[in-house]
C-alpha cells in the first residue's frame, strides 16, 4: 500500500510539472509568434484541460490563473511593434480561462465520481453491500505482498435456497443479514466478503488453529434454530479453511482451494462442518509417483513373489490348474496391491519387464513342481501392453524349452481389451500363442466390452466369468444372463471358469447352470508355491464338493 502511495505521489508531481511546462511552452509560443494579438493564445487551453483531467476543478482553476498571468501584463500584444496589452484585455482573458477551467474541472470531477461509483459497485455484493469476490481477490493479492500468514475461511449456508423456496426472498435476505451479524461477532466485518447470497469469506491473519476455534464457536450458535422475527430457522452451515503460505501463495489458487474445501465433507447428514483444505489429489499423485519409482527397483531388489490360486473342476472335483498372481512387498512402501501397481506399470511401460519376470518364475516353478512329480497347469496374466512387444512369445518359447516344460501346462489370460486393442494384431498373436501350444483364457468376461459377439469371435480355450457377474447371480433376475453365457460358450466348445466364487450357494447355482470350473475364496485363497502341491493332493481326497 505504501509503495502504491509513493508511486501515486510521483505521478502527481510529474503531472504537475508537465502542466507547468506546457503553460511556459504556450507562453513562449505566443511570444515567438508575435504576441497575444495572434491566434496562439489558444494553446493555453491544453494545460488547463489537462490539469482539470488530472487534478479536478482546483487543478484546472490554478492552471487557468497561471496561464492568464503568463499571457498577462508582461506579454506584449505585438512583439514586433512593441505594443503592450491593456489590463482589461489580459484580465478578461484570465476570467475567460477561469470560467472554462471551472466547466472542464466540474465535468471531469463528475466523470471521475461516476467512475468511482461504478468501481465501488463492481467490488460490492449487490444484495448485502459487502465487498464481493472481485474485492477479495484484489485485497488478497495486496495482503500476500505484505503479510506473513493469512487464513481464509469460507462459510456456506447449505439450506438457504429452501428458505427462499418455502418462505420468500425477503426472509432469505433477513436470514443472510442475521448470519452476517452473528459472523461479525467472531470475524471483523471489514474483513468479511460476500461471494454469493449463501457464501461468505473471512480473511484474517490468525493461524489455522485459532481460526478453527473461532469457526467452531460461530457454528456453535447454529446448533439451535435462530430466530428471524418470530420464525425459528434451522440453518446448516458448512465451512472450510485455507492458509497462506501453507496451501498456496497465489491468490487465485487459494480461492479455488477454499471453495474446494466445501466438497471435502461428503457426509450429507452433517448439518455443520469445518474442513481444512486437504490436497488429497496432490497427495495421491505424489504417492503414485513414489510407487512408480519404487517399482523400478522392485525386480532388482527381489521384492516380487508369486502366489497361486487353485481352480476346481466341478465335474471331477479336482484341481484343474492354478492362476499365478503377483505380490509386491516393497521395501519402502510395504505391501502394494496389484490393482494399484499393475496399472502404473502399464502406464510407465514397465509391465513388459514385470510380465517377463512372472513368466520366468512361473516356468521355473513348473520345473520345481515337476521335480516333485506334479504337473500343474498354470495361468499367467498378460496385459495388452505386453503384446505390443512380440518378443514375449519368443521369450516364453525359449524358457519352456530350457526348462523342459510342456507348453500345454502354461496358459495366458488375456482380457477382451487386449484382443480389441487396435495396436495389437490379435489374429496373428493368437496364432503364435496356439502354435506354441499354450492355452488361452478370456479373462474378466462380463466387464467392459463384454459382448457375446466377442465370445463367438475369439478363439480362446476358457472363458473366465468376472466376479461381478458371479456376485450378481445372488439376484434371481440376473441368472438367465449367466446361464446364457455358459450355454453359448459350451456351444462354441469353450470351458467356463467362474471367478471370485465365495459362497456355497454360488457354487451350487453355478453347478446347476453347467459351469465347468470354479476359482474363488470358497475353495482357496491364492497360495504360496510350497503349499500348492499339498493342497492339490489333499483336495482330491476331500470327497465331493457339493
Between residue 363 and residue 392, which ones bind ligand C2E under the rule CB under 6 A?
381, 383
443 binds Ca ion (CB under 5 A): yes
Given candidates 521, 534, 538, 540, which one binds ligand C2E under the rule CB under 6 A? 521
For ligand C2E, which is the closer residue by CB, 156 or 467?
467
The CB-of-355 to ligand C2E minimum distance in angstroms stands at: 6
Kindly write down the DSSP assignment for every residue of 368-409, as one continuous string: HHHHTT----EEEE--GGGGGSTHHHHHHHHHHHHTT--GGG
Mark the segment that binds ligand C2E (CB under 6 A) among 2-10, 49-57, 122-130, 335-343.
335-343
Residues in contact with 345: Cβ distance below 8 Å, sequence separation at least 6, in sequence order:
295, 351, 354
Side-chain half-sphere of 28: how many Cα atoms within 13 Å? 6
The CB-of-519 to ligand C2E minimum distance in angstroms stands at: 6
Q: How many residues bind ligand C2E (CB under 6 A)?
A: 21
Ordered alpha helix ranges (H), 221-279: 251-264
384 binds Ca ion (CB under 5 A): no
516 binds, among ligand C2E, Ca ion, none (CB under 5 to 8 A by kind): none
**Which helix (DSSP H) or strand (DSSP E) does residue 198 occupy?**
none
**Which helix (DSSP H) or strand (DSSP E) does residue 513 occupy?**
helix 504-513
Mark the segment that binds Ca ion (CB under 5 A) among 32-40, 386-394, 440-448, 470-478.
440-448
For ligand C2E, which is the closer residue by CB, 174 or 360?
360
Q: Which of 278, 251, 245 lies closest to 136 in space, CA to CA? A: 251
Given candidates 358, 359, 473, 485, which one binds ligand C2E under the rule CB under 6 A? 358
The CB-of-201 to Ca ion minimum distance in angstroms stands at: 49
Distance, CA of 380 to CA of 439 (rounded, Å): 11
Given candidates 337, 391, 451, 474, which one binds ligand C2E under the rule CB under 6 A? 337
Mark the segment that binds Ca ion (CB under 5 A) among 5-13, 46-54, 493-501, 515-523.
493-501
Given candidates 47, 52, 204, 520, which one binds ligand C2E under the rule CB under 6 A? 520
- Judged by DSSP in three states, 203 sits in strand
**Under a CB-based contact definition with an 8 Å cutoff, are residues 323 and 378 in contact?**
yes
383 binds, among Ca ion, ligand C2E, none (CB under 5 to 8 A by kind): ligand C2E
Roughly what angle, to the nearest 10 degrees, separates helices 426-436 and 391-402?
A: 10
- CA dist list (Å): 274 to 189, 193, 346: 21, 18, 39
444 binds Ca ion (CB under 5 A): yes
Mark the segment that binds Ca ion (CB under 5 A) among 23-31, 331-339, 443-451, 478-486.
443-451
The CB-of-524 to Ca ion minimum distance in angstroms stands at: 15
52 binds, among ligand C2E, Ca ion, none (CB under 5 to 8 A by kind): none
| Per-position x/- string for 353-382, each x denoting binding to Ca ion as judged by CB under 5 A, each - no binding | ----------------------------x-
Given candidates 443, 469, 496, 536, which one binds ligand C2E under the rule CB under 6 A? 443
- CA dist list (Å): 323 to 30, 267, 525: 104, 40, 11
Q: Which of 476, 468, 541, 536 lies closest to 512 in space, CA to CA? A: 476
For ligand C2E, which is the closer residue by CB, 444 or 495?
444
- Judged by DSSP in three states, 304 sits in strand
Between residue 472 and residue 501, which ones bind ligand C2E under the rule CB under 6 A?
499-501
**Which helix (DSSP H) or strand (DSSP E) does residue 309 occupy?**
strand 304-313
CA 387 to chain centre: 33
The CB-of-141 to ligand C2E minimum distance in angstroms stands at: 48
DSSP-derived secondary structure letter, 302? T
The grid coordinates listed for 274 are: 469445518
309 binds ligand C2E (CB under 6 A): yes
Between residue 77 and residue 106, which ones bind Ca ion under the rule CB under 5 A?
none
329 binds ligand C2E (CB under 6 A): no
User: Is residue 65 left, alpha or beta, with left meaning phi > 0 and alpha meaning psi from -120 to 50?
Assistant: alpha
Mark the segment that binds Ca ion (CB under 5 A) among 98-106, 205-213, 483-491, 499-507.
499-507
Helices (H) and strands (E) in the chain, counts: 19, 18
Q: Which residue pairs, CB below 8 angstroms and at least 24 apart, start in 62-68? A: 63/19, 63/23, 63/101, 64/94, 64/97, 64/98, 64/100, 64/101, 65/94, 65/97, 65/98, 66/20, 66/23, 67/23, 67/26, 67/27, 67/94, 67/97, 68/93, 68/94, 68/95, 68/97, 68/98
62 binds, among Ca ion, ligand C2E, none (CB under 5 to 8 A by kind): none
Mark the segment that binds Ca ion (CB under 5 A) among 65-73, 223-231, 442-450, 472-480.
442-450
Interacting residue ranges for Ca ion, rule: CB under 5 A: 381, 413, 443-444, 499
Interacting residue ranges for ligand C2E, rule: CB under 6 A: 309, 325-326, 337-339, 342, 355, 358, 381, 383, 443-444, 467, 499-502, 520-521, 526
Amino acid at each position: 500500500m505504501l509503495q502504491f502511495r509513493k508511486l501515486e505521489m510521483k505521478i502527481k508531481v510529474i503531472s504537475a510539472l508537465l502542466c507547468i511546462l506546457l503553460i511556459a511552452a504556450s507562453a513562449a509560443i505566443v511570444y515567438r509568434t508575435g504576441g497575444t494579438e495572434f491566434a496562439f493564445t489558444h494553446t493555453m487551453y491544453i494545460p488547463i484541460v489537462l490539469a482539470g483531467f488530472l487534478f479536478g476543478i482546483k487543478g484546472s482553476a490554478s492552471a487557468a490563473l497561471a496561464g492568464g498571468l503568463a499571457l498577462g501584463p508582461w506579454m506584449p500584444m505585438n512583439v514586433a511593434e512593441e505594443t503592450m496589452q491593456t489590463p482589461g484585455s489580459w484580465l478578461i482573458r484570465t476570467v475567460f480561462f477561469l470560467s472554462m477551467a471551472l466547466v472542464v474541472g466540474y465535468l471531469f470531477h463528475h466523470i471521475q465520481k461516476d467512475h468511482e461509483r461504478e468501481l465501488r459497485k463492481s467490488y460490492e455484493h449487490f444484495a448485502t453491500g459487502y465487498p464481493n469476490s472481485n474485492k477479495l481477490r484484489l485485497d488478497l493479492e495486496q495482503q500476500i505482498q505484505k503479510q506473513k500468514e493469512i487464513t481464509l475461511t469460507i462459510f456456506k449456508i447449505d439450506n438457504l435456497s429452501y428458505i427462499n423456496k418455502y418462505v420468500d426472498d425477503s426472509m432469505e435476505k433477513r436470514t443472510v443479514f442475521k448470519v452476517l451479524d452473528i459472523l461479525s461477532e467472531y470475524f471483523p466485518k471489514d474483513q468479511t466478503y460476500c461471494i454469493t447470497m449463501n457464501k461468505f469469506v473471512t480473511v484474517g491473519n490468525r493461524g489455522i488453529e485459532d481460526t478453527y476455534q473461532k469457526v467452531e464457536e460461530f457454528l456453535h450458535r447454529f446448533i439451535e434454530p435462530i430466530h428471524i422475527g418470530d420464525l425459528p430457522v434451522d440453518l446448516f452451515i458448512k465451512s472450510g479453511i485455507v492458509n497462506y503460505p501453507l496451501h498456496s501463495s497465489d491468490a487465485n489458487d487459494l480461492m479455488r482451494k477454499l471453495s474446494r474445501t466445501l466438497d471435502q465433507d461428503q457426509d450429507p447428514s452433517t448439518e455443520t462442518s469445518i474442513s481444512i483444505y486437504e490436497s488429497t489429489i496432490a497427495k495421491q499423485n505424489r504417492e503414485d509417483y513414489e510407487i512408480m519409482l519404487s517399482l523400478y527397483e522392485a525386480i532388482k531388489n527381489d521384492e516380487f513373489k508369486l502366489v497361486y490360486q487353485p481352480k476346481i473342476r466341478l465335474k471331477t472335483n479336482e484341481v484343474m490348474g492354478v492362476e499365478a498372481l503377483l505380490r509386491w512387498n516393497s521395501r519402502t512402501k510395504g505391501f502394494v496391491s496389484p490393482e494399484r501397481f499393475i496399472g502404473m506399470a502399464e502406464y510407465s511401460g514397465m509391465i513388459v519387464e514385470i510380465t517377463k519376470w512372472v513368466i520366468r518364475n512361473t516356468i521355473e516353478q513348473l520345473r520345481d513342481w515337476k521335480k516333485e512329480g506334479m504337473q500343474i497347469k498354470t495361468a499367467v496374466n498378460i496385459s495388452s501392453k505386453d503384446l505390443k512387444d512380440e518378443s514375449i512369445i519368443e521369450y516364453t518359447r525359449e524358457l519352456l524349452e530350457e526348462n523342459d516344460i510342456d507348453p500345454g501346462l502354461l496358459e495366458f489370460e488375456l482380457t477382451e481389451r487386449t484382443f480389441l486393442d487396435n495396436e495389437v494384431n490379435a489374429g496373428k498373436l493368437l496364432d503364435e500363442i496356439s502354435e506354441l501350444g499354450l492355452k488361452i483364457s478370456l479373462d474378466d468376461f462380463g466387464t467392459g466390452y463384454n459382448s457375446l459377439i466377442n465370445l463367438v469371435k475369439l478363439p480362446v480355450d476358457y472363458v473366465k466369468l468376472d466376479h461381478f457377474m458371479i456376485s450378481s447371480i445372488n439376484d434371481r433376475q440376473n441368472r438367465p444372463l449367466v446361464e446364457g453365457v455358459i450355454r453359448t460358450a459350451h456351444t462354441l466348445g469353450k470351458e467356463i471358469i467362474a471367478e471370485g466364487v465365495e459362497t456355497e450357494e454360488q457354487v451350487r447355482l453355478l453347478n446347476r447352470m453347467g459351469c465347468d470350473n470354479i476359482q474363488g475364496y470358497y475353495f482357496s485363497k491364492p497360495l504360496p508355491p510350497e503349499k500348492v502341491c499339498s493342497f492339490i493332493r489333499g483336495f482330491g481326497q476331500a470327497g465331493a464338493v457339493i
